[in-house]
Amino acid sequence: MLIVKKFGGTSVADKERIFNVANRCIEDYKKGHDVVVVLSAMGKQTDVLLDMANDINPNAPKRELDMLLTTGEQTSVALMAMAMHSLGVPSISLNAFQVAMHTTSVAGNAKLIKIDKDRIRHELEQRKIVIVTGFQGISKYDDYTTLGRGGSDTTAVALAATLHADACEIYTDVDGVYTADPRIVEGAKKLDQITYDEMLELASFGAGVLHNRSVEMAKKYGVQLVVRSSLNTTEGTIVKEEVKMEKMLISGVASDKNVARIAVVGLEDQPGVAFKLFRHLANHNVNVDMILQSIGRDNTKDISFTVTEDMADVAVETVERHRSGSLKCQDVKVNKNVSKVSIVGAGMQTNPGVAAQMFEALYDANVNIQQISTSEIRVTVLIDEEDTNKAMNAVHKEFDF
Ligand code: ASP
Ligand code: MG
């Protein structure tokens, strides 16, 4: 069997944890399996590096940030290889160049294009455990790139897909995927299984357990994932296409505080206004999420939308810049004290009243809804940030997991 095992930062945070991971990998190796290990940077090292960069230059070139951040993963893979050697097991660490992990050239948010197999295959044939840096790649200009925060999960899934691995295990500091963040919601339960689609919605709407692009990729290539803890041997959660157990209505509740709402008030009520607004935003790389347009009155209308907090200023500047030209409006308002709370479940496709049930729980908890968006298997509300935990608990309780 070929097994890809990915370990997050907390799983390799110190010497003891590094040896713990080394031993877990060696266990599989000794059963005769081929083992490919993907690692994140140790502990909070990526944040530490970002703080260092920010201290030197708050507007550091993205290329140099990537150059810096990739050292985090390079440190952990080298130390892991040393640990395995000290335990008498042949292993080798490889970075993005040595494997050749080709990505797009967008520094800080690159996408994997192709992973070369030859070097890894060669090392596996020598019966070595291969330890690969997560999160990083190389651009066609031979520069380091990174895949976005949390991107090591995506490295692992991409490797599993490329190498046709028999298993892809994502090790973290929690026991699996929960119905809600157990640190916020009392009574949150671990799920045995979840579908790719549900996991993707949960990951995209605030459940921090998996990088959303890793789930997208797992679905695309049919890579079955197991999310489990590196600190114990509990079974974990399986992420796959179909879940056969009795269907729960809702599989999870997620929240995301990294949201800002921008309201563009008093736009002209005529064709092309939304097009121009969102075209300008797209040109400035602003990713827009929930969009709401009011009914026109007195030949004007309002459009509000959400963005991640770090993009709020860019979004407002973009609108301001065009206010006297192509985008006439009365006012631009921004509110960073908002959050999103979402429920996700394949069961809502076939059961009416799920949204109403969520809204009722929020009403009972006296939480005001500012905006709503939905997909086939998700309902999201925008609320006051300070209501987030109250809302999470109320909704979770309502659906009685
Ligand atoms: N070390 C990177 C981060 O902290 C990538 C990862 O952990 O997946 O975002
Ligand atoms: Mg992670």
Q: What is the pLDDT of residues 7-41, one digit of tens each?
A: 999 999 999 999 999 999 999 999 999 999 999 99
pLDDT of residue 216 exceeding 70: yes
Q: Which of helix, strand or coil describes residue 188?
A: coil
C-beta of residue 261 within 8 angstroms of C-beta of residue 308: no
Higher-confidence residue of 248 and 47: namely 47
Cα separation, 369 vs 121, whole angstroms: 53
| Any atom of ligand 1 within 6 Å of the Cβ of 43 | no
What is the distance in A from the centroid of ligand 2 to the CA of 395?
25
Q: Is the CB of 260 under 6 A from ligand 1?
A: no
**39 alpha carbon – ligand 1 mean position (Å):** 9
Q: Measure Cα distances from 37 to 100, 114, 171, 239, 322 in Å.
A: 16, 18, 11, 19, 49
Could you tell me if the CB of 40 is within 6 A of ligand 1? yes
338 burial type by CB count under 10 A (0-12 exposed, 13-18 middle, 19+ buried): buried
Q: Does the pLDDT of residue 246 top 70, yes or no?
A: no
Residue 270, both tokens: 């005529």
pLDDT of residue 223 exceeding 80: yes
149 pocket-lining for ligand 1 (C-beta < 6 Å): yes
Task: Give yes or no for residue 9 CB within 6 A of ligand 1.
Answer: yes
Residues forming a β-bridge with 119: none
Q: Report which protein residue has its CA nearest ligand 1's atom 4.
A: 46
- 55: its two tokens: 């201290």
Nearest CA to ligand 1 atom 9: 149
Identify the pLDDT of residue 247.
61
**What are the C-alpha distances in Å from 33 to residues 3, 83, 86?**
7, 19, 20
Per DSSP, the three-state class of 342 is strand
Report the percentage of the chain scoring pLDDT > 70: 99
pLDDT value at residue 248: 73
Ligand 1 site, residue 401, Cβ cutoff 6 A: no
Residue 347's pLDDT is what? 87
As a whole number, mean pLDDT of residues 201-228 equals 95
Residue 127 pLDDT level (bands cut at 50, 70, 90):
very high
What mean pLDDT is predicted for residues 90-101?
Answer: 98
Phi then psi dihedrals of residue 132, to 5 deg:
-115, 140
Closest ligand to C-alpha of residue 66 is 1
Q: Which residue is listed with tokens 């300008």?
A: 280
Question: Helix, strand, coil proportions of the chain in percent (round to 5)?
Answer: 40, 25, 35
Atom 8 of ligand 1, nearest CA residue: 150
Q: Which ligand is nearest to the CA of 150?
A: 1
Q: Kindly report the average pLDDT of the chain as a whole number.
A: 95
Q: What distances in angstroms separate CA 29 from CA 33, 116, 131, one per listed residue? A: 5, 23, 13
Ligand 1 centroid to Cα of residue 135, in Å, is 6
The residues facing 36 across adjacent strands are 4, 130
pLDDT, tens digit, 9 for 90 and up, residues 312-323: 999 999 999 999
The closest-lying atom of ligand 1 relative to the alpha carbon of residue 149 is 9
Which of 223, 204, 191, 253 shows the shortest CA–CA distance to 393? 253
For residue range 341-384, what is the model confidence (pLDDT) as tens digits?
A: 999 998 888 888 999 999 999 999 999 999 999 999 999 999 99
Q: Strand, coil or helix: what is 80? A: helix
DSSP annotation of 239:
E
> pTM here?
0.91
User: Residue with the nearest Cα to atom 5 of ligand 1?
Assistant: 150
Which pLDDT does position 352 carry in this prediction?
A: 86
Q: What pLDDT is recorded for position 208?
A: 85
Closest C-alpha to 106, from 137, 68, 134: 137
CA 296, CA 292: separation in Å to the nearest integer? 12
Neighbours of 231 (CB within 10 A): 15
Which of the ligands is closest to the CA of residue 171? 2
| Segment among 64-73, 133-142, 244-253 with least mean pLDDT | 244-253
Nearest-angstrom CA–CA distance, 207 and 283: 29
